[in-house]
Structure 1
Amino acid sequence: MSSLYALLADRVSEARAQRASVLKAPAESAGEAYEREIAAERLAKEIGRLEGAERGLVFGRIDWTDGTALRLGRIGLHTEEDDLPLLVDWRANAARPFYEATPVHPVGLRRRRHLRLEERTVISVSDELLDGTAPTDEDVVGDGPLTEALSARRTGRVHAAVATLQAEQDEIVRSAHRGVTVVQGGPGTGKTVVALHRAAYVLYAFPRAAEEGVLVVGPNARFLDYISHVLPSLGENDVVLATCQELAGVSTDTADPFDTARLKGSSDLADALAGLLRVHQAPTGDFTVWVGQELVRLSGEEVAAAREGAVAAVSGHNPARQVFKELLVDAVTDGMQRDMGDLLEQIDADAERMTGINLDRFTGAAQRRAEGAADPGPVHELDLDAIRADLLDDAGVDRAVEVLWPRLAPGDLVQALLTNAGALAERLPRLTAQERSLLLRAPHDPWTDADVPLLDEAASLVDGLPERTYGHVVVDEAQELTAMQWRMIVRRCPARAMTLVGDFAQAGPVATARDWKEALSPHVGPRFTLHNLTVSYRTTQEILESVRDLLLGIAPDQKPTRSLRSGESPRAVTTRPDGLVSAVAQEVRAQSSAYPGELLGVICADTSTAPRKFVEGC
């Protein structure tokens, strides 16, 4: 074991020395300086990956029946002198048997060994014999790491389960599917653990996704803190963890009532914002601007052509505005060129009529036109590039463009919809008057959590698609996402490569979809794979049995979960409405006495204000 830590220390020292050397290297150009910074950043990440793996570096070993053995760890370590690696990364194909082998299907293994370390000290060893042979003096047969993990006390952080991933979990983690993978399971089935291990596996197995980055989206900042140390402990620290608020760059502590939040989560709001935006993109009218002392006018048809060209050329209202302006200026200069040519041709025609002399005979213009050559006459002596540059910088031109295509801010677009009853009625005709009244807000009201996806949608409409996108996105508690939140996440994953975990039987009151098909069809159609986790490792069998009928009513197509744990059967206490608070207080005191020092929780419906007040007062 000490040789592994010595090798790890050598690798850290080498990476640090390489980074120091890179930073000291002179850069003779901006390009070389940029390449130096990229190389230094890559080495810094490698140092962090190696240092992060030191805690609990080794967790397992597999022994084949032919005597070959491999150690498994959070990263891989090997030297050129060794035929076999000293340590196999848990994500490598060579590590698969550790997770797949069973006594029924041992896949050639004799033994699976689990190690538990504190710092660099082995504190427990547990062997599983898989080939049916009798234990020897070298085998340490115990209850197993899974049993130990199930009996461990809960803490304020989720832990890596790399040493105890079960076969159905490992199959999902190692899936070769690069599209959308959906993981569904009841409470306690390890959905979050699977999601995080999947993120680490994607970074290891899919170089393109790793190059573009992996994003993990969680429901709130507390949840992200809860899972924050898992990925570094799995050998990866190059993952972005974010909430929807952080993705949108909007911070708010205000929440809408459920009915309002659910309405704001509908995809109808995206259509409403897009329709409202089009009103500000030169819907009608011509364009008139002074060029020197001459007033130049473009027709409505010419303006419409510039609008269509701008919308097709670039994403985002404000970037397209610049293209629209350039196309209008092009049309103005083209018109000036045509008008000057027409004027000179008219002058030539008038002169020939008055004098009887064809001026083309002397200038050679007719011959050049016949040969397709340019006419070097006065029209071509116009400096059109200079005129165009002057017009693009002209404040009067910009003011004229602003009338047709004004600059916008995302918040202004959302405000224009939600603060205007007329706009709501026009853009959301399918809603009832009562529903539209729930959406109506005062101009100075603070933004709410349900406004965040609307602001992100408006940002994509106004400024274009997000600059930062990812090669793979992992979403936990995905059943809670509204249709508008799905849109903001999909925008950040152009490849549509995602791992989504959740359970629609546990969906909250704001969720806008009833199942995965409804949630994902607008974005990927039927192109997603669904996996079901069927074993609960935390919830007891008695609790699961008590909610079977409820599950049947909420999600009749969902396969019930079975548990590996047992405990007390739940009790039901009946009380009058006016005695609810005292009944809760009495039960809390009884539980506190029965389980001194343990954590107690009171769960109640959001509409049950009396128990909530009791809990807040404790």
Structure 2
Amino acid sequence: MNQEMDFLTEQNKLQEVLNILSKEILMYLERRKDVAKYILESRKKFIEEYKDDEDQIIDYFDHENYIKEEAYKTIDKRLIEFTSLKEAPYFGKISFMEEGNLPEELYIGRYGLTLEDGSEPIIVDWRAPISSLFYKGNLGESSYICPSGEMKASILSRRQIIVKKGELKGLFDSAVDVKDEILQMILTENSSDKLKDIVMTIQSEQDEIIREDKNKVVVVNGVAGSGKTTIALHRISYLLYNFRKQFGDKVLIFGPNDIFMDYIAQVLPSLGEGGIKQFTFENFAKRELDIENQKIKSFGSYIEDAMNGDKEALKEYKYKSSRNFLDLLNKGAEDLNKNYFNIKSVNFNGEEIVGIKEIEDLFNLHYKYMPLFRRSEKIKRVLISKIKDKRDEVVYKLNEEMKEKIAALTKDEVDIETVNLEYLRRMKVREIVRHVITSREELDKWINHECIIDLYKNLTNTQELGYMDLSGILYLMIKLDGKKIKEDVKHIVIDEAQDYSIIQFEVIKELTGCKSYTIVGDSNQRLIELEEEPAMLNLQELFNKDKSKVEVKEYSLTKSYRSTQQIMEYATKFLKEDKIIPLVRNGEPIIEEETFSDEEFTDTLISIIEDYEEEGLENIAVIFNGKKELREISSMLKQKISIQSFENEDVLYKGGRVLIPAYLAKGLEFDGVIVVEKDEIQSLVKYIMCTRALHRLSVIRKQ
């Protein structure tokens, strides 16, 4: 009976909130109409009044108009949020009591709603500090962090509320638990809206990371399906909501490939955020090196070569990812600092104007704090200034001599000799200019430096540049030239960070000067296993080696929410350590098939795809070890069914059937996965392939 009463009470509350939302939407539509009318009339009037004054037209966006333009954007944003809330205004309710106060109730939603004439919020945004009480996962004594400090509160009850298309579908009173019925319900859905719905099901350990201090380097080592990417994206949303002035448009995301970037780009707008800069490390590095149009060996090509047994590619990948390679670059930079410039004195017309000792002091004392090539460019300007000073001194003496000679002439001689003296003066000035040119040419011979890319090639004995060289070149540019990026970056997200070398982390830190990070990855998901532990797990030294020390906070997530228990138990067989705790969500057994001909293989593959689709699975991936196997099967398969091939990173995935190599599938998830095993696959790669599956997994061995 109580359950029925609760349901009826929540139904009435929902209707009340929906009515308020409808009124707010109508009011904001009217406001938008008024603002739009004002802007258009103002523009028309201004342009007519100043049609002959181009400068005035350009400057017409005065303060009042700027305010109106910004008001339009704000109204538009709120309308988008209110329209979203009409579908599902909130997903949770919490009852709590702060010290000395009466019990309070709050409804938690994707966005907040407070009426202009009201002080109490009708819906509280999930990113607000007080909303953390909803995600704590326990009743009783608790606390939350607000701008004024820690606030203690006692959580009396916690309710999860399911609303779909404005209708109340269910209520659950519980502490957050991995066996939570709502979590189970969300996870059994298909993959398309999974990332968007996480605000309903954020677990307490995930929420702790999302709300971690903004001035830290947060490192998350999480197993496949533990929600690493969703944590990172929701942390961005949380930071922007609470500290928009600080972070604003200054967030940068690094992802593993363009397919993945497109995948997460669909999520940020649903969190109310857009315009966030996104790069793969490769594209970012090529932009900074200004070689965007040059063809270099891509990250994918290294992986392909290594997986196909190319020992040289594997050796290069391992070496250029290692600390030994970093040591080589550091030693190279150190040697260049000591020995690069063969310092010579600066002379002018045979006279020494700056001695070697004075120039050595400029390098080793006065400007020692500057990187070598920036230092040399500074010193070059100083020395050129000395040459100019000497030039000015000689020209001054010449002019004084001429004045004296003219003064010594009689009145009759002046008319005759002045022209000759002026001609002579000009000839001597030309001679002085030639001495200046000679001095500068002599200076250029020893103080100019080579292109850093060429220096890198010589230092590392590299002929053709590839992905593995990009971070090394940038590292030398930082060391030798003090390179920085132009943008102001205040928070950086690095996803799939297990494949980043220590040099890449060094480069990102030094180029941006950023001190706030969310770094997520899985040490079990390295495409190429290295002797060294992933650099992401050893960042303490990097962020604490200079004066501006930054706290590195590490989290380990061992619970997997993505796949069924059967899929996770199968996948963990390929790990050396079984440390994954799968969510108890039962599914179908893993299908393992062996085929002995091309025809048998394609028939089996098509049959499994059809079975998946009959079960209602929408996004199905056939995952290969590499592109070589994919190409061998692609044309044969496409003769029988319609399926998309991912052979390059610049293909957009909009759902449905897809053929994809393992290294491009990293970070993605699919309703059903079919792993193709032609040759032997590395254990960690097999683990990555299997853990892309949400609901169904099959393995076909092709003999």
TM exceeding 0.5: yes
Q: Which amino acid aligns with 1:528?
A: V
Residue from 64, 87, 90 that aligns with 2:126: 90
Aligned to 1:59: 90
Letter in 1 for 2:133: P
Deviation at 1:336, TM superposition (A): 10
Higher strand share: 2
Aligned to 1:545: 569
Q: How many angstroms apart in 2 are the aligned matches of 1:37 and 1:479?
A: 48
Equivalent position of 2:170 in the other structure: 126
**Cα distance in 1 for residues equivalent to 2:443 and 2:449:** 10
Once the two structures are superposed, residues 464-490 of structure 1 have per-residue CA deviations (whole angstroms, 9 ceiling, x without a partner) of: 222224211111111111222212222
Q: Say if 1:210 and 1:224 are closer, same or farther in 2 by CA, change over 3 A.
A: same
Q: Which residue among 264, 267, 272 is the counterpart of 2:320? A: 264
Q: How does 1:401-412 map to 2 (within 5 A)?
A: 401-408=443-450, 412=451
Measured in 1, the distance between the counterparts of 2:590 and 2:251 equals 41
Q: 1:324 aligns with which of 373, 379, 397?
A: 379
Residues 577-601 of structure 1: CA deviation (Å, up to 9, x unaligned): xx58677445414423533566554
Q: CA deviation at 1:226?
A: 0.4
Map 1:530-541 to 2 at 5 A: 530-541=554-565
Paired with 1:220 and 1:397, the residues of 2 have a C-alpha distance of: 51
Matched residue of 1:62: which SS? strand
Matching residue of 1:466: 485
Give the letter for the 1:536 counterpart.
S
Q: Please, which of 503, 509, 512 is the counterpart of residue 484 of structure 1?
A: 503
| CA 75–283 in structure 1, closer or farther in 2 if over 3 Å, else same | same
Superposed CA offset, 1:411-440 (max 9, x none): x4233433x4xx43xxxxxxxxxxxxxx63
Q: Does the CA contact (< 8 Å) of 2:139 and 2:155 recur in 1?
A: no
Structure 2 contact 452–476 (Cα < 8 Å) conserved = yes
Distance of 2:65 and 2:280 partners within structure 1: 29
SS at match of 2:131: helix
* Alpha carbons 1:265, 1:450 under 8 Å: kept: yes
Unpaired stretches in structure 2, ≥5 consecutive residues:
1-17, 97-101, 142-153, 303-312, 395-428, 545-549, 638-703
SS in 1 for 2:343: coil
What does 1:175-254 correspond to in 2, within 5 Å?
175-176=212-213, 178-206=215-243, 209-211=246-248, 213-248=250-285, 249=287, 250-251=291-292, 254=298
Distance 2:138 2:246 in 1: 32
In the TM superposition, residue 175 of structure 1 has moved relative to its aligned partner by 1.8
- SS of residue matched to 1:59: coil
Give the whole-Å Cα distance in 2 for the aligned partners of 1:611 and 1:519: 36
Deviation at 1:331, TM superposition (A): 5.8
Alignment-derived partner of residue 117 in structure 2: 81
1:453 aligns with 2:471: yes
- Tell me if 1:289 matches 2:347: yes
Matched-pair contact (CA < 8 Å) for 2:251–2:490: yes
The alignment covers a number of residue pairs equal to 519
Residue pairs, 1:193-592, within 5 angstroms: 193-206=230-243, 209-211=246-248, 213-248=250-285, 249=287, 250-251=291-292, 254=298, 255-256=301-302, 257-269=313-325, 272-273=328-329, 279=336, 283-290=341-348, 293=349, 295-308=351-364, 311-312=367-368, 314-315=370-371, 317=373, 319-329=374-384, 395-408=437-450, 412-418=451-457, 420=458, 423-424=459-460, 440-441=462-463, 445=464, 447-460=465-478, 461-462=480-481, 464-509=483-528, 513-515=532-534, 519-524=538-543, 527-551=551-575, 553=576, 555=577, 559-572=579-592, 579=596, 584-585=601-602, 587-592=604-609
Contact in 2 for aligned 1:289/1:295 (Cα 8 Å)? yes
Residue 241 of structure 1 aligns to a residue whose secondary structure is strand
| Distance change >3 Å, CA 476–CA 124, structure 1 → 2 | farther
* Structure 1 residues 265 and 459: CA distance shift in structure 2, 3 A: same
> Residue 595 of structure 1: which of 604, 612, 618 is its match?
612
Amino acid at match of 1:308: N
Q: Which residue does 1:171 correspond to in 2?
A: 208
Letter in 1 for 2:345: F
Deviation at 1:63, TM superposition (A): 5.3
**Partner residue in 1 for 2:163:** 115
After TM superposition, the structure 1 = structure 2 runs for residues 139-154 of structure 1, keeping only pairs within 5 Å, are: 145-154=182-191
Tell whether the 8 Å contact from 2:346 to 2:443 is kept in structure 1 after alignment: no
TM-score, structure 2 normalization: 0.62
Residues 4/41 of structure 1: CA separation in 2 closer, same or farther (3 Å cut): closer
2-structure distance, mates of 1:517, 1:266? 13
Q: Deviations over 1:339-360 (max 9, x none)?
A: 9xxxxxxxxxxxxxxxxxxxxx
Aligned to 2:442, the other structure's residue is in SS state helix
Q: How does 1:5-44 map to 2 (within 5 A)?
A: 5-6=25-26, 8-9=28-29
Letter in 2 for 1:240: K
- 3-state secondary structure, aligned to 2:120: coil
Q: Identity rate of aligned residues, in percent? A: 22
User: In structure 2, how many angstroms separate the alpha carbons of the residues matched to 1:614 and 1:63?
Assistant: 54
Q: Secondary structure at the match of 2:84?
A: coil
The amino acid of 1:262's aligned partner reads K
Deviations 1:87-124 (A, max 9, x none): 3221112322332355788912363323334xxxx145
Q: Distance in 2 between matches of 1:35 and 1:406?
A: 49
For residue 425 of structure 2, what is the aligned residue in structure 1? Answer: none
* Residue identity matched to 1:50: R
Q: Structure 1 CA distance, aligned partners of 2:522 and 2:356?
A: 54
Superposition deviation, residue 160 in structure 1: 4.7
Provide the alpha-carbon RMSD of the alignment: 4.5
Letter matched to residue 273 of structure 2: E
User: Residues 101, 320 of structure 1: CA spacing in aligned structure 2 closer, same or farther, 3 A cutoff?
Assistant: same
User: Which range moves more in the overlay, 88-97 or 19-28?
Assistant: 19-28
Q: Please tell me the residue identity of whatever aligns with 2:218.
A: T
Give the 3-state SS of the residue equivalent to 1:283 in structure 2: coil
- Residue 459 of structure 1 and its aligned partner are, at CA, apart by 4.0
Structure-2 change in CA distance of 1:406 and 1:12 (3 Å): farther
C-alpha displacement of 1:568: 2.6
Q: Secondary structure at the match of 1:233?
A: helix
Q: Secondary structure at the match of 1:159?
A: helix
Q: What is the alpha-carbon distance in structure 2 between the residues aligned to residue 34 and residue 86 of structure 1?
A: 36
Q: Note the C-alpha offset of 1:222.
A: 1.2
Q: Contact conserved, 2:140 with 2:156, CA < 8 A, in 1?
A: no
Query: Conserved in 2, the CA contact under 8 Å of 1:188 and 1:539?
Result: yes
Partner of 1:504, secondary structure, is coil
Using the alignment, how far apart are the partners of 2:228 and 2:519 within structure 1? 9
Q: CA deviation at 1:82?
A: 0.7
Mapped to 1, the partners of 2:456 and 2:280 lie a distance apart of 25
After superposition, give the CA deviation of every residue in 1:226-256 in whole Å (9 maximum; x if it has no partner): 0113222212225222211332215456333
Equivalents in 2 of 1:331, 1:182: separation in Å? Answer: 52
| Match 1:50 to one of 63, 69, 78 | 78
Cα deviation 1:118-146 (Å, max 9, x = unaligned): xxxx1453322349xxxxxxxxxxx9543
